[in-house]
Structure 1
Amino acid sequence: MTRHWVVAAALLITAGMNGAQAEDYPTRTITMIIPFAVGGPADITGRIVADVLARHLGRSVIVENINGAGGTIGALRAARATPDGYTILFGHMSTNALAPAFYPNLGYDPMKDFEPIGLAAEYPELLVVRKDFPANNLGEFVTYAKTHANKLNVGHAGVGSISYIGCLLIDAAIGIKPALIPFTGTAPVLNAMLGGEIDYECDPVLGTLAQVREGTVRALAIAAKQRSPMLPDVPTSYEQGLPEFDCAVMYALFAVAGTPKPVIAKLAAGLDKGLDEEQVRKRLADLGANIAEPGRRGPKPLADLVRSESARLLPILNAVALTDK
């Protein structure tokens, strides 16, 4: 009996200490892990978010890029961190929802090992083809691809990456299995397309916006219900009769499971304030992002989004991922 009281008292003391630490949070530098290469869409967006948090929390936020395995190496590193709010993850729908379709032995559970903080922005994907590709719209692309699938080369930034997921979704939608060529990031994929090595790719608006505007590559469709203000002349997949190609990349903040709720609330509030700032909204909008509006911010909306995207996309990806690696 006495031992049980001692244990209970120790737990109460520990909880009190954690509560006090949470109230004082943050007292030192925060590390944000971005599990992708420097200069890519996740990195560019994540650094904007890091600046926002630093200003609104009053502490430095340093970015640590840990690239590899579709973002899962960095996500695993974050999942194993101390759950105190001083290591957070800037993840997306692959690292925190869809990775199990490609990496059955992840080493972490996207649902159980992270606490959602909040959605920052979403980037719809584009179907981008080389400049001389013999199709001028999505319908012509589908017709050509079905006839020449065994001759097509598709570039992506690694198994489990957003570009890989986009490729699988459109290929599954039209029933083809072209050659999938892996690269180390978006930039090498674009370089390969400019050099004629690959025929098409699927990537967030941010990753290909400059090249599409310059006319060095062509965008045939945006994988969304609405056109992008950054590329208003590019019709949607819905307009062109292929609603199955619907892929908006979420970029969001996650904490390690077990992080105190007051810490998560402070992080969420800092992100929320930043997304209301005109200069932040302009920076993200200029990159082609759809910014999370108030009703879609915070831990619960992000948790709901992760669950809904997992339910929608995992069955499709599970059906094709293993045969398309």
Structure 2
Amino acid sequence: MIRLQTLSLAVGAAMLAVGAQAADFPAAGRTITIVVPFAAGGPTDKVARDLGEALRKPLNGATIVIDNAAGAGSTIGSTKVARANPDGYTLLLTHIGMATTASLYRKLPYKYSEFEYLGLVNEVPMVVVGKPALAANTWPELKSWIQENKTKVNLANAGLGAASHLCGLMLQQALQTEMTTVPYKGTAPAMADLMGGQVDIMCDQTTNTTPQIEGKKIKAYAVTTAKRLMIPAVYKDLPTLQEVGFKNFDVSIWHGLYAPKGTPAEVVKAINTALQTALKDPDFIKKEESLGAIVAHDDRVTSEGHKKFVAAEVAKWGPVIKAAGQYAD
């Protein structure tokens, strides 16, 4: 009886400790780290830094820092968070790779079940762009040029599993044309070579392409969304790939927020509540819209809604990646 009573008291004390931890989250003086599994300066890094700023106020002015743990197609940073202490002070901000790495990697060092799903942040349309010296000026001209040159066309991407890689796969399948894929170690060097004319075309996020298109440093041909983009204005005259004959070609790259599995439910709720507040922040919305990103506002901003959405994305992208036969060990 004494042993059972002692055990009961111990369990009760542990539960009270967890409850106190959650009620005080974030504790005064504690820093929250958002791990970005990509290099600084890229589109996902930009979203993380803008979101971190928007989260500070609803998280009682907490200090939020960004940790760029890049490499291995986002798996290094994602693994770091999966193995972190599940207390809410280490989070992951990543993109669609959360749903595609299981298909891209034969030996993934973590499982989807090792995360708490905190909510969707945004969706980012993509656009087909080309080097400034490319002779084609419209989508029909670009399409004809690609089909005439095929494997002579250099299609850049930011590396295995990157948004530009995934969009490039779907573009080649839609055109039924295999191009020469040129992978880079990040978005910045890929875009630099596109602007410099070392590669021909790329399909990338508007968060990365908008300034370059506005500055006339690259050419833009078509967007990947179901409807035309009206904001920013530089996209409003571009056709969608569905308009030009590619039925069901609808690709947006999204970003979500995650915590390690086992993070107390009360802490998960506190972060999700802060996230939903941050997503309504006018300054955050303005920053995202200026780059063509669409801030999430539906049930996918909830923990359960986002988890269901990611599961659907896993099912969507698996066959595309399998058909392409591009894997990493």
When the two structures are superposed, what TM-score results if normalisation uses the length of structure 2? 0.91
Matched, 1:90 2:122: no
In the alignment, which residue of structure 2 is the partner of 1:33?
35
Runs of 4+ with deviation above 6 angstroms: 1-5
User: Matches of residues 1-325 of structure 1 in structure 2 within 5 Å?
Assistant: 10-27=10-27, 28-58=30-60, 59-94=62-97, 96-109=98-111, 111-228=112-229, 229-230=231-232, 231-322=235-326
What is the identity, as a one-letter code, of the residue corresponding to 1:268?
N
CA distance in 2, matches of 1:11, 1:153: 61
CA contact 2:86–2:263 (8 Å) conserved in 1: yes
How many angstroms does 1:186 deviate by?
A: 1.7
What is the identity, as a one-letter code, of the residue corresponding to 2:158?
A
CA distance in 1, matches of 2:319, 2:94: 21
| 1:202-259 alpha-carbon deviations (Å, 9 max, x no partner) | 1100111111122221111111112221121121111111134322111111111111
CA contact 1:222–1:234 (8 Å) conserved in 2: yes
> Which segments of 5 or more consecutive residues in structure 2 lack a partner in the other structure?
none
CA distance in 1, matches of 2:256, 2:291: 16
Number of corresponding residues: 323
TM-aligned CA distance change 1:76 to 1:2, over 3 Å: same
CA distance in 1, matches of 2:174, 2:191: 23
CA contact 1:177–1:324 (8 Å) conserved in 2: no
TM-aligned CA distance change 1:20 to 1:239, over 3 Å: same
CA distance in 1, matches of 2:143, 2:306: 34
TM-aligned CA distance change 1:75 to 1:324, over 3 Å: closer
What is the identity, as a one-letter code, of the residue corresponding to 2:286?
K
How many angstroms does 1:324 deviate by?
A: 10
TM-aligned CA distance change 1:81 to 1:69, over 3 Å: same
| 1:259-312 alpha-carbon deviations (Å, 9 max, x no partner) | 111111111111111221222211111121111114442212211221121111
CA contact 2:92–2:258 (8 Å) conserved in 1: yes
How many angstroms does 1:5 deviate by?
A: 6.8
CA contact 1:35–1:66 (8 Å) conserved in 2: yes
CA distance in 1, matches of 2:105, 2:3: 45
Query: What secondary structure sits across from 1:112 in the alignment?
Result: helix
How many angstroms does 1:13 deviate by?
A: 3.3
CA distance in 1, matches of 2:76, 2:110: 10
How many angstroms does 1:108 deviate by?
A: 0.6
TM-aligned CA distance change 1:162 to 1:4, over 3 Å: farther
TM-aligned CA distance change 1:312 to 1:244, over 3 Å: same
CA contact 2:54–2:281 (8 Å) conserved in 1: no
How many angstroms does 1:2 deviate by?
A: 7.5
Query: What secondary structure sits across from 2:110 in the alignment?
Result: coil
CA contact 2:117–2:304 (8 Å) conserved in 1: yes
| 1:30-82 alpha-carbon deviations (Å, 9 max, x no partner) | 11101111111111111111112222112111111111122111111111101
RMSD: 2.1
Q: Percent identity?
A: 32
